Amino acid sequence: MPEGRTLAVSRMRMASVVLSMVALAFFAMAMLLSSSSSRVVLLVGPIVLGAVALVFALMARGSAVARPGPVIAFVLATLAIIVPAVVVGAVISSVAAAPSAVYTIEVDSPDPVDVVIRDGADRTSATWDSGDTITLDSNATVIGINARTPVSTTVISCEIRRDGTVLVADERAGTVDCSFVEGDD
């Protein structure tokens, strides 16, 4: 094989290896820095980079003397596709397989209260008037609400119900925290 062709194949394999390593690095960062809900979106990038690396590895399979070797390029490119794809599949299947329940969260106070609603890893903040409720269809293992009023002597009550059954209720002055953790019932 001409030396120019060997050099081109070597560069293509090196590009494949580098793209695979970048894809695996992005995969590791996505796993460490993201929550499960945003992880699926972040893992699309490593899968695409791995697919491009695999195309380069397939295009560079002609020369046995070119470095890095074809096995290294194929293995790294395949890992760069399969590892994030397995995680994406696991996240999607766990969300689909997790049982969903309807939770009703109610806060009662004579004054408006600032609330933080926890639905798994997601948090929502709002200001509620007396007697406001929210209904969540959730498969999260942690559901909760924290309500606070600017008047420290105002009594606030909160209640979390699932399918009509009261899971947790609390009443306090100034601030109240109702949380339900699956498995603690």
**What does the block give as tokens for 172?**
């306090």
Reported as a single tens digit per residue, the pLDDT across 140-183 is 777 888 888 888 888 888 888 887 788 888 888 888 888 888 76
Average pLDDT over residues 15-43: 78
Report whether 137 contacts 116 (CB < 8 A).
no
Using an 8 Å Cβ cutoff, are 77 and 134 in contact?
no
Q: Report residue 110: phi and psi, to 5°.
A: -70, -20
Residues found in the chain? 185
DSSP state of 171: E
Mean pLDDT of the chain: 79
pLDDT at 23 over 70: yes
Identify the pLDDT of residue 58.
82
142: phi > 0 → left, psi -120 to 50 → alpha, else beta; which?
beta
Q: What are phi and psi of 11, to 5 degrees?
A: -65, -40
Q: Which helix (H) or strand (E) holds 130?
A: none
Q: What is the pLDDT of residues 96-151, one digit of tens each?
A: 655 567 777 778 888 888 888 888 778 888 887 777 777 777 777 778 888 888 88
Provide the 3-class DSSP secondary structure of residue 90: helix
